[in-house]
Amino acid sequence: MKRRSFVKKVGIFTTGTIALSSTNLYATETENSLNTIDFSPVALIENELTLKGFFIDSITLKPILSPIKMEAKVKRNRFFPLNKSLESTNSSYHIQTGFSKSNIQDKIDIHIQADGYKPYNGNIYLTTKGCYIHSEEWNYNPNFKPEFTPKNINSGNQTTSSFNFHLVKI
């Protein structure tokens, strides 16, 4: 009987702690007006990855200055998918993440909407070695060149990647 009471109290305490916590342990979706999306795990991080870049026009190769909405979805486990978004007004974005000893890669679904441009739906892969793109990039933008692929710089446990999203006009 004491064990049942203890389990019940611990369950209520844990539920209350998670529900009333001031930090979001697992948020279903967060809106952000800054140009940063943070997918850093709660656990200890052994390797960090920073992905930076711009939203540019695929023809002129110049930054798009109109407001751009980017949604990023990563599913690290089957119970708590992370959905985050940002709205860029200066054509830049920044994604921060980290990896533990397991070195699991993150597949991130990216959805980008900008006025006057075809909606972008694609995937990027983040690993301890850097950022990689899916071959569907060429389906979205037939003028996409191999030199536009992500550039990765590794230094110790820090990886910095740069990749520009080339958006196609409607």
Decide if 106 is inside a domain. Answer: yes
- Cβ atoms within 10 A of the Cβ of 110, count? 18
Position 100 in a domain:
yes
Any domain includes 11: no
Q: Judging by beta carbons within 10 Å of its beta carbon (0-12, 13-18, 19+), is residue 166 exposed, middle or buried?
A: buried
Whether residue 90 is contained in a domain is answered as yes
pLDDT, tens digit, 9 for 90 and up, residues 93-106: 998 887 766 666 77
Q: What is the mean pLDDT of the chain?
A: 80
Confidence band of 15 (pLDDT split at 50, 70, 90) = low
- pLDDT value of position 33: 46
Domain count, the chain: 1
Q: Residue 103: what pLDDT?
A: 61
User: What is the per-residue pLDDT for 102?
Assistant: 63
Q: What is the pLDDT of residue 20?
A: 52
Integer angstrom CA distances of residue 83 from 1, 17, 39: 42, 22, 9
Is 2 within a domain?
no
Q: Is residue 14 part of a domain?
A: no
Is 13 contained in some domain? no
pLDDT score of 158: 87
Write the pLDDT tens digit of every residue in 28-67.
444 444 677 877 766 667 788 889 999 999 999 999 989 9
Does residue 19 lie within any of the structural domains? no
Q: Label residue 166 by pLDDT band (50, 70, 90).
A: very high
Q: What is the CATH number of the domain that holds 72?
A: 2.60.130.10
**pLDDT at position 117 over 80:** yes
Q: Which two tokens stand for residue 121?
A: 């739906």
Q: Which domain holds residue 66?
A: 27-167
How far is Cα 28 from Cα 78, in angstroms, rounded to an integer? 13
Q: How far apart are CA 126 and CA 91, in angstroms?
A: 21
User: How far is 27 from 147, CA to CA, in rounded Å?
Assistant: 36
Q: What is the mean predicted confidence (pLDDT) over 128-154?
A: 88
Residue 10: what residue type?
V
- Could you give the CA distance from residue 149 to residue 165 in angstroms, rounded to a whole number? 10
Q: In this predicted structure, what is the pLDDT of residue 76?
A: 66
